[in-house]
Structure formats: structure tokens, C-alpha cells
Amino acid sequence: MNEGKRPGGLTALAVLNFIFSGWGLLGIMGMITMIVVFGKLAENMDEQARTQLEAIQAIGRPMLICLLAVSAVSSILLLISGIGYIKQKKFMGRTLGNAYAVLAIIIGIVSAVMMKPEIGGGFTIGAIIGFIYPVLTLILLNTTFKEDLTN
Amino acid sequence: MSLRDVSASHIRLISFYRTRYTLRGGAGLVFLMITLVFGLTVAQAVLAPIEQVMAQQAKAGQEPDPKEVVAEIVKRGRPVIQWALGIESDENSPASSDPWTTFLLDDRPALLSVIFLILLFGMPLLISFLAFNQIAGDVQNRGLRYLLLRTERANIFIGRFLGTAFFSTLVIAIIIATITFYLGVNIKIYSAGPLVAWALHGFLALSVLMLPYIAICSWISASVGSAFVSLVLAKVVIGGVWLFALLGSLVWKPAIYLNYALPWGLQNHLLHPKLTYSLGTALACLGYMLVFLFLGYYRFETRDL
């Protein structure tokens, strides 16, 4: 299938990938800033911010680094697979898109289990919202757009 | 060519492909994403305060009592619900004496009622993302000419409307099912029977409400030759009627009746305690739908493609 016949839905999916990728990377930078900078200013924080910081610190440094690294990989996968959708590439689009979706679902489950509710852990509506895009990606790539990513 | 040429098998085929193409075409995907995020964010906004208070109670060593927390929040939110329903509050009588508010907040699962009221307001503003391109895009790229060799305009118009309505109903079902499941499993203050029954009522109310708005999008889409113009017009008409009525009523009270140009003025009655009111409103929605569909079909049938 050539690039000229790319369905509008695939383009929309690619644009969403770019948006969520940028969003994810910004979130990771924000998290790192919160740990590095705000950790030194903990005494001057209000109670809510301090509770959040404590909740982040409670995860433990190795686990936190691991979660941040996996989240960064997930955001990069989003970016690359978005380019893959545009070019209708099988590996770059479909394979990496599926890899992102599976990884994001795993991250979502691990975060829900390990994190405290103050920083988005637990079984909440927020956690369900986080699953929408990965699940949708997984379904669409393997049904609706399966035949469009063959280059 | 007229309505006499309508073929059930053609309509079925066209609506089936419309539902399938909606996702491939992009509009359905965008609608699905926006609507799911909107619906669940509304639920989160309503439920998060309750969960936070319960978490604080647990942290303070108390046994969290969700029923008590919800009762307190409902008590504080009652005037807001009355305002949303357009009920004038009377200082002489207690707020809880209003039967409609009492029905929504006391007789039915209050949290679900609040979520439904917000969805009833928000969904009409989102539906045009799905319904704007029923005809206009194909007119723009002249693709409709090839389809017209095989079937009549009436079949295309009705088939695409039904396909769009089916997709919208499916998305609403996913949202309501997710929220109801979450309420039942996580908040645990309502028993399953009343929760599911009220969820079903809300689902039907939202599904019926979407029909006239999809129909007006069909009319607009059949009248213009550009998908983008169709989207902008649908947004302006649906949102504009409500906004114009609201702002207009500030300077000239009767301007509020402009809301009745679309179902804005009566759609909350889909959740009315009296069955005659809610059924009547549903019939009125179907009436709006038929009028808009007729106007759209007439325009589509008579225009030069």
C-alpha cells in the first residue's frame, strides 16, 4: 500500500502519538525536576506538595529510576512509531506501536500497584484514563490499520 | 429519485461501512479519544473529592464511610444541581423539597446523576467531531459521484446518519459501562440493581439526545461542499444557540427560549422523575431529529452535486 493512500485515521493516530510523546517527555522532566530541586526545598513546601514528594520518595530510588527510564522509552517509542504510521512502515509503525502499547499498559499496572494515590497510584478513574490510548492503539493497529502498515 | 427509492439492504450496507470507515477516516478516532477522555474526566472530577476525603479519613485512623461523605457532598452540591436544572430556589422552603432534585440526588444514585447532567450538557458539543463529515467530504473530493451510480441519495443520507448514530451509541455505552463498573467496584455505596437501572436510563437518555444533534450535522454536512466548513458550522450552530440564548437572556429575558431551536432547552428533562416528562422529552428529541433529517434530506436531494 503506498503512502498516498494513508487513511485519515492513521494520520490522526500519528498526530496523537506526537502529542502524547511530547507530553510524556515533559512529564518525565517535571518528575526529575521535582525530585532534584524540590527535594532541597521540602521544608518550604505546602502540605500537599510535601505529601506528593514523600509519596515519590517512598517508591525507592532504584524503582523510581526504573519507572522513569521505562516511561522515557515508552515516549520515544511513541515518537518513532508516529513517524512509522506516517510512512506506513511495518516495523517502525506497527511493531513499535504495539511495543509502546504493551509497555504503556505494563507501566500503568505497575504504577497503579506500586505508587501511592497522592501521585496517581491505585485503581482510580485517572488510571483508567491512562489506559485509553494504549488499549486503543493495540486494537487499531491489529484490526483497522493492520493492512495499512506494510511498507 | 425520492424517499420511495429507499432500500433497506442499501441502507444497512452503507451504515455498516459508515461505522467502519468512521474509525479509518480519523473523525471517529478523534471523537472516540475526546469523548472517552471527557467522560472519564467528568467522572474523575465528581468522584475524586469523595476518594480524597475517604483517604484522609483512613489516614486519620477513622473507618472511611463513603455514604456519609457522599451525603455531605450532595448536601453542599444540591443548590448547584437546582441551578443546572433551572429550578428557582425558594428561600422559604428547604432545598431538598424540590422533587426533581430529590429524585436525582436522593432516590437515584446521586453521583451517577451528577455525571449524567454534565454529560448531557457536554456531549452535544462533542458530537460534531463525529458527525460533521457525513456527506461534505465526499462532495468536496467528488467521490460521491461514484457512489450515486450504485444507489440513491436517500440511501446514502439515511445510511450514513444511522452509521454515525450507531457509532455514537457505542461510544456512550463504553463510557457509561466504565463509570458504572468503577462506581460499583470502587466506591461501593450503591447496590448493583439501582445502579445498573439508572445507568441504563442515563445511557438511553444520552443516546436519544445525540440523535437530533447528529441530524443537524447531517443537514449541515449535506448543505455545504467542504468538510472543514461543515465542522465549523456544526460547532457554531450547536454551541452558538446555547451561548446566544445564555448571553441574550442577560439583556433580554425571552432570549432564553432560543434554546428550544435545538434540544438544549428541554434535554435535562430526559432525567425527570415523571415518566411522562422523560418519555415526552425523548419523543421531542426524535421529533427534532425527524425535522432536521427531513430538511437535510431535502437539501441533499435537490442540490447539484
Per-residue pLDDT of chain B (305 residues; tens, 9 = 90+): 566 778 899 999 999 999 988 888 888 999 999 999 999 999 999 988 888 888 778 778 777 778 888 888 888 888 888 888 888 766 555 555 688 999 999 899 999 999 999 999 999 999 999 999 999 988 888 888 888 888 899 999 999 999 999 999 999 999 999 999 999 988 888 889 999 999 999 999 999 999 999 999 999 999 998 999 999 999 999 999 999 999 999 999 999 999 999 999 999 999 999 999 999 999 999 999 999 999 999 999 998 87
Q: Which residues of A touch B30 (CB under 8 A)?
A: 12
Give me the sign of the Cα torsion angle B22, B27, B33, B37.
negative
| pLDDT tens digits along A23-67 | 999 988 887 887 777 666 666 677 767 777 777 777 777 877 888
| 3-class state of residue B200 by DSSP | helix
The DSSP element (H or E) to which B242 belongs, if any, is helix B227-251
Cell 523510581, residue located? A64
CA dihedral A59, A64, A67, A73 (to 10 degrees): 170
Looking at the complex, does the CB of residue A1 fall below 8 Å from at least one CB of chain B? no
Residues of A in contact with B33 (CB under 8 A): 16, 132-133, 136
Supply the angle between the helices B153-182 and B27-59 in degrees, to the nearest 10: 10
Q: Which of B48, B25, B31, B36 is nearest to B173 (CA)?
A: B36
Report phi then psi at B252, rounded to 5: -145, 105
Interface residue of B24, B41, B47, B59 to substitute, partner A, most A CBs within 10 Å: B24
- The pLDDT of residue B2: 64
A-chain residues near B51 (CB < 8 A): 117, 124
Taking residue A15's Cβ as centre, other Cβ atoms within 10 Å add up to: 15
Enumerate the residues of chain A whose CB falls inside 8 A of the CB of residue B24.
Answer: 7-10, 144-145
Say whether pLDDT at A2 is over 50. no
Q: Which of B168, B38, B52, B188 is nearest to B111 (CA)?
A: B188
Q: Give the ipTM.
A: 0.81
Taking alpha carbons only, the member of B195, B30, B187 closest to residue B107 is: B195
CA distance B42 to chain A (A): 10
Q: How many CB atoms are closer than 10 A to CB A118?
A: 17
Closest alpha carbon to B262 in B292, B232, B228: B292
Contact B224, B298 (CB under 8 A): no
Residue A8 near chain B (CB below 8 Å): yes
The backbone torsions φ and ψ at residue B76, rounded to the nearest 5 degrees and listed phi first, read -75, -30
| Kind plus residue range of the DSSP H or E element containing A80 | helix A61-87
Q: How far is CA B95 from CA A95, B60, B82, B245, in A?
A: 58, 32, 8, 27
Picking from A117, A125, A133, the nearest residue to B43 by CB comes out as A125
In whole angstroms, give the CA distance from residue A56 to residue A85: 35
**Following CA atoms B56, B58, B62, B65 in sequence, which dihedral angle do they give, to the nearest 10 degrees?**
90
**Is the Cβ pair A12, B29 closer than 8 Å?**
yes
Residue A55 touches chain B, beta carbons under 8 Å: no
Percentage, residues of chain A above pLDDT 70: 87
User: Which amino acid is it at B174?
Assistant: I
The predicted pLDDT at position A142 comes to 93
Optimal mutation site among A125, A140, A145, interface B, most CBs of chain B within 10 A: A125
Return the beta strands (E) in chain B as ranges. none
User: How many other CB atoms sit within 10 Å of the CB of residue B83?
Assistant: 11
| pLDDT at residue B150, as a whole number | 87
Question: What DSSP letter does each residue of A113-131 carry, written as one string?
Answer: HHS-GGGT-SS-HHHHHHH
A136 vs B contacts (CB less than 8 Å)? 29, 32-33
Q: How close is the nearest chain B Cα to the Cα of A39, in Å?
A: 23
Q: Which three cell numbers stand for residue B59?
A: 489516614
Distance from CA of B29 to the nearest CA of A (A): 6
Q: Which residue of A has its CA nearest to B30?
A: A12
CA distance A74 to chain B (A): 19
- Provide the terminal-to-terminal Cα distance of chain B, rounded to the nearest Å: 14
Is there a contact between A38 and A59 (Cβ–Cβ < 8 Å)? no
3-state secondary structure (DSSP) of residue B133: coil
Residue in A7, A117, A132 nearest the CB of B37: A132
Higher pLDDT, A71 or A117: A71
